Amino acid sequence: MLKTYPRLTPLLLMAAFVLTTPAVGTSVYAQDQGINRPGKEEPAPKVVRIPRPPAPPEPPGPDAAPVARIHPKAFNTQEKAIAVRPEVHVTVCVRRGAVKVNGWDRKEVRVFQAGGNGLEFKVRERDKEKKPSWVEVLGYESSAAPTRRDPCVTGETIEIDVPYGASVAIKGLSSETSVDGIRKAAVEIVGGDIYLNKITDLIDASTKQGGVTVNNSKGRMAVETTTGNIVAFNTESVEAGDYFKAKTRSGSITMQSIGQKEIAASTISGSINYIGTIENYGRYEFTTTNGLLNIVLPEDTCFALVAVYGGRFISDFPVDVITEDKSESAFLLRGKVGECEANLSLKSFSGTIRLRKRGSAESTIVVVP
């Protein structure tokens, strides 16, 4: 028989309720989390979006060509054109880049630039018909701030197309320059090689560190370099008084088939090689301080000769000696070969002079640095 305790009955019932309700209470609370009770806004759950990885590209078919991927910065190209008169004069300053100038049959100037700073044309003169007769190529755009404008063009490649009758003047710091098929070319750069081809009227080119090459051109020509070689082939005069002048300090000069009647070539520590002719009433001067003079002429050549040499003088031509003097450093010989009004001056203060007939065993030019 159970003995009851009336005072403890409520406590026992309460203890039993506490022990039996935790699981039920927890379940109800969990369900209540997702219910929006009236008058109470629950904060929106934080959503984290995980991007889906891109699908791998499909392999190209057997006939698909590979696509070149170019960095966006390397894809900076510009092209501009302007209508001009056929004999337009174009000037451009190049700070850096490979420059190519080409003549064409259009009456316009077109400039293409890859990887550069910008382009703009500035018309400096117009003819009576208001067509540009002098155009300057600038290395900035109109929208650039005036304080940041640099007139020099910069780019990996700078291509300029001009009319055949145009004259072009280029100044630059570091630039390999090529000019082909125009009337006049004036190039003055600090570092880089210069190539001139099919210039029909005038050439004036100089570089401090680089070589100069002239080919198939006409008119007056003056080329100069400080540390580089000069090579010239197949030149002609356009009018009386046209000349060819070449000068370098530490390089060689090679000339073949030079048609001007006035030729002057000089170097300090290099050789001079000449295969060509001596024209009547022409003047030819070849001077080196520490190098070889190798002169190859036709067999029927005639000229008055002045030779100064510190080494040897070797001639395939019979020279009628007029005077011959000797100083402490060199020999001086004056004479003539045949009878004509041409003058040939050969000076090699510490080297040898070789005067050869064309077709002799040593008539092939070999550039000696």
Residues 77-89: tens digit of each pLDDT:
889 999 999 999 9
For tokens 């002609």, what's the residue? Answer: 236
Residues 249-306: tens digit of each pLDDT:
999 999 999 999 999 999 999 999 999 999 999 999 999 998 999 999 999 999 999 9
Choose from 50-64, 70-84, 110-124, 163-177 the range with maximum mean pLDDT.
Answer: 163-177
pLDDT at 139: 87
Q: Which pLDDT band, with edges at 50, 70 and 90, does 148 fall under?
A: low
- Do the Cβ atoms of 95 and 152 come closer than 8 Å? yes
In sequence order, which residues have a C-beta less than 8 Å from that of residue 52 and are 6 or more positions away? none
28: enclosing H helix or E strand: helix 22-32
In this structure, what are the phi and psi dihedrals at residue 28, rounded to the nearest 5 degrees? -65, -40
Angle at 234 between CA 233 and CA 237, to 5 degrees: 125
pLDDT at 149: 66
Q: Which residue has the higher pLDDT, 161 or 6?
A: 161
Q: Kindly state the tokens that stand for 300.
A: 């029927």
DSSP string covering 152-199:
SEEEEEEEEEEETT-EEEEEEEE--EEEES-SEEEEEEEES-EEEES-
pLDDT at 118: 81
**Average of pLDDT values for 82-103?**
96
pLDDT at 23: 43
Domain-wise residue ranges, the chain: 75-175
Residues 178-196: tens digit of each pLDDT:
999 999 999 999 999 999 9
Residues 334-343: tens digit of each pLDDT:
999 999 999 9
